[in-house]
Structure 1
Amino acid sequence: MNEKRKKVYEALLDGATEGLSGNALFDFVLERCPKATSKKIVRASLLALTDPDVTDRNILHTIYALAISHRMDEVGVTSDPDDDENPAEKSPVLRKLRKKRATVPELSEAGQV
């Protein structure tokens, strides 16, 4: 682990150990490591999640929540776009079955396709 990532990692663990979470933890890490980016903090979070020496469930949960929320911020996702969509519209297999059902009227009336 390089020195910069280790410093962010240690700040992350220190803040989570002190009971900080969410934006307070993120701000704490930025205060200790002013040049840290959201991406670096997410990477340090993933290192903490895979560290066998970190065993406190609350700390792991806090770090996990921080990593997920800031990773989603990086991607630019505010909500799940699949929530409002019809699964049949997304799946090529289902589209093919619908098309087949529309072209074979006797099967669609019998409910076989």
Structure 2
Amino acid sequence: MGKMRKEIYEALIEGASDGLTDSALYNFVVRRCPKTSSKKIVRAALGALEDSNVRDENVLRVVYALAITERLRHLGVNDQPHKSAPVAEPDAQLKRKAKKDKDLSVPAEMPVTTH
């Protein structure tokens, strides 16, 4: 485990052990590790799930829940961002989604080529 991931992991375990959950745990980790990212938090959380020394069921559940929340937020699925995360205006979110959907769509009339 790299130094940064270990610091994030330790902050996750410490915060969860102290009873922090959700946004409070996320903010605690970000304060302790300012250069962290959603992806790094998810990876550190998964490391905690694999660590046989972590035996507190509540800590494991909280860390797992944060990993899921962060993964969904990273994908743009979670509509309740953390308080420290910038919040886009609803119109901007809809425009981005429409543009993404348009970029992924297949034109109705695709030329058919035969060889």
TM-score normalised by the chain length of structure 1: 0.67
Unaligned runs of 5+ in 1: 80-113
Task: Kindly state the Cα deviation for residue 77 of structure 1 after the two structures are TM-superposed.
Answer: 1.7
The residue that corresponds to 2:102 in the other structure is none
The change in CA–CA distance for 1:18 and 1:78 in structure 2 (over 3 A counts) is: closer
Partner Cα separation in structure 2 for residue 32 and residue 53 of structure 1: 22
Amino acid at match of 2:56: D
Give CA-to-partner distance per residue, 1:81-112, whole Å, 9 cap, x none: xxxxxxxxxxxxxxxxxxxxxxxxxxxxxxxx
CA distance in 1, matches of 2:41, 2:10: 11
TM-score (norm 2): 0.66
The aligned amino acid for 2:52 is P
**Cα distance, 1:72 vs. partner?**
0.6
By percentage of residues, which structure has more helix?
A: 1
- Number of residue pairs the alignment of both structures matches: 79
2:8 and 2:72 map into 1 onto residues whose CA distance is: 19
CA drift of 1:78 comes to 3.8
Match of 1:28 in 2: 28
Moved over 3 A (4+): none
* Counterpart amino acid of residue 22 in structure 1: D
Structural RMSD (CA): 1.1
**What pairs with 1:4-83 in structure 2 (closer than 5 Å)?**
4-78=4-78
> Which runs of no fewer than 5 residues in structure 2 stay unpaired?
80-115
Q: In structure 2, what is the Cα distance between the partners aligned to 1:34 and 1:6?
A: 14
Q: Which amino acid aligns with 1:56?
A: D
> AA paired with 1:67?
A
Question: For residues 38-78 of structure 1, what are the alpha-carbon distances to aligned partners after superposition, in whole Å with 9 as ceiling and x for unaligned?
Answer: 11011100000111110100000000110001101111224
**Percent identical across equivalent pairs?**
53
Quote the Cα distance in structure 2 between the aligned partners of 1:7 and 1:61: 20
Letter in 2 for 1:55: R
